[in-house]
Amino acid sequence: MDNEYYLELSENPVQFENASTVNNVFFDEANKQVFAVRSGGATGVVVKGPEDKSPIAFRMDDKGEVKCIKFSLGNKILAVQRTPKSVDFINFIPDYPHLEFSHECKTKNANVLGFCWTNWNEIVFVTDQGIEFYQVLPDKRTLKMLKSQSINVNWYIYCPETAVLLLSTTVQGNVLQPFAFKNGTMSKMSKFEIELPMVPKPAKLSLSERDIAVASIYGEVYVMYLKHHSRSTNSSGAEVVLYHLLREGPCKKIHVLKLNTTGKFALNVVDNLVVVHHQSSQTSIIFDIKLREPDCAMNVHQPVLPARSIHPCKIPLTGALCLFLYLIFLLLSVYLSGYLWYLQVKLQPTVNLLQDKGKLMDFLLRRRDCKMVILSVCSQMLEGGEKGNLPVVATVFDKLNQVYKEYLEAEQAYTVAMESGPSRFSNSYKRPVRTQAVIDQSDMYTHVLSAFTEKKVINKFIIAVLMEYIRSLNQFQITVQHYLYELVIKTLVQHNLFYMLHQFLQYHVLSDSKPLACLLLSLESTYPPAHQLSLDMLKRLSTANDEIVEVLLSKQQVLGALRFVRSVGGHDNVSARKFLDAARQTNDTMLFYTIFRFFEQRNLRLRGNPAFNQGEHCEEHVAYFKEVFGEQTLMKPPTK
Partner 1 sequence: LLACSSAAGSEMASGMQEKQYTPSLLSFFIYNPKFGPREGEEEKKILFYHPSEVEKNEKIRNVGLCEAIVQFTRTFCPTKPAKSLHTQKNRQFFHEPEENFWMVMVVRNPMIEKPSKDGKPATIEYQEEEILDSVYGAVLRQCYSMYKLFNGTFSRAFEAGGVELLRQKLEKFFYRYLQTLHLQSCDLLDVFGGISFFPLDKMTYLKIQSFVNRVEESLSLVKYTAFLYNDQLIWSGLEQDDMRILYKYLTTSLFPRHTEPELAGRDSPLRPEVAGNLLHYGRFLTGPANLKDPEAKFRFPRIFVNTEDSYEELHLIVYKAMSAAVCFMINASVELTREFCEQLDALVGPQLTLLASDICEQYNINRRISGPEKEPQFKFIYFNHMNLAEKSTIHMRKTASVSLTSVHPDLMKILGDINCDFARVDEDEEIIVKAMTDYWVVGKKSDQRELYVILNQKNANLIEVNEEVKRLCATQFNNIFFLD
Q: How far is the CB of 391 from partner 1 (least distance, A)?
A: 6
- 134 or 504, CB closer to partner 1? 504
Torsion angles phi and psi, residue 606, rounded to 5: -85, -35
- 297 or 507, CB closer to partner 1? 507
Helix (H, G, I), strand (E, B) or coil at 1: coil
- 425 or 499, CB closer to partner 1? 499
Q: How far is the CB of 573 from partner 1 (least distance, A)?
A: 20
- 166 or 505, CB closer to partner 1? 505
Q: How far is the CB of 500 from partner 1 (least distance, A)?
A: 8
How many Cβ atoms sit within 10 Å of the Cβ of residue 165?
24
Q: How far is the CB of 585 from partner 1 (least distance, A)?
A: 17
Torsion angles phi and psi, residue 220, rounded to 5: -115, 150
Q: How far is the CB of 338 from partner 1 (least distance, A)?
A: 57
Binding site for partner 1 (CB under 8 A): 387-391, 394, 460-461, 463-464, 467-468, 470-471, 474-475, 499-500, 502-503, 506-509, 529, 531-533, 535-536, 538-540, 548, 557, 560, 563-564, 567
- 353 or 509, CB closer to partner 1? 509
What are the DSSP calls for 603-618, one per residue? Answer: HHHHHS--SPPGGG--
- 194 or 535, CB closer to partner 1? 535
- 62 or 486, CB closer to partner 1? 486
Q: How far is the CB of 491 from partner 1 (least distance, A)?
A: 14
Torsion angles phi and psi, residue 287, rounded to 5: -125, 145
What residues contact 331, with CB distance under 8 A and at least 6 apart?
Answer: none
Q: For residues 151 and 156, give the distance between their C-alpha atoms in angstroms, rounded to a whole number.
A: 12
Strand partners, 277: 266, 284
- 325 or 480, CB closer to partner 1? 480
Q: How far is the CB of 531 from partner 1 (least distance, A)?
A: 8
Q: How far is the CB of 630 from partner 1 (least distance, A)?
A: 28
Q: How far is the CB of 538 from partner 1 (least distance, A)?
A: 7
What are the Cα distances from residue 99, in Å, to 35, 89, 90, 95?
20, 8, 6, 12
CA 340 to chain centre: 27
Q: What is the dihedral of CA 568, 574, 577, 582, to 10 degrees?
A: -30
Q: Is the peptide bond before 94 cis (omega within 30 degrees of 0)?
A: no
Q: For residues 145 and 134, give the distance between their C-alpha atoms in angstroms, rounded to a whole number.
A: 4
For residue 174, give the DSSP letter.
-
How many Cβ atoms sit within 10 Å of the Cβ of residue 384?
9
What residues contact 381, with CB distance under 8 A and at least 6 apart?
Answer: 357, 389, 392, 393, 396
* Cβ–Cβ under 8 Å, residues 251 and 190: yes
* Cβ–Cβ under 8 Å, residues 30 and 22: no
What are the Cα distances from residue 25, in Å, to 13, 29, 276, 318, 377?
15, 13, 25, 21, 43
Q: How far is the CB of 389 from partner 1 (least distance, A)?
A: 7
- 392 or 611, CB closer to partner 1? 392
- 20 or 506, CB closer to partner 1? 506
| Positive or negative torsion for Cα 437, 441, 446, 449 | positive
Q: How far is the CB of 464 from partner 1 (least distance, A)?
A: 4
Q: How far is the CB of 472 from partner 1 (least distance, A)?
A: 9
- 15 or 475, CB closer to partner 1? 475
Q: What long-range pairs does 326-329 form, CB within 8 A, spacing at least 24?
A: 326/266, 326/277, 326/278, 326/279, 326/282, 327/279, 329/266, 329/268, 329/277
- 390 or 635, CB closer to partner 1? 390
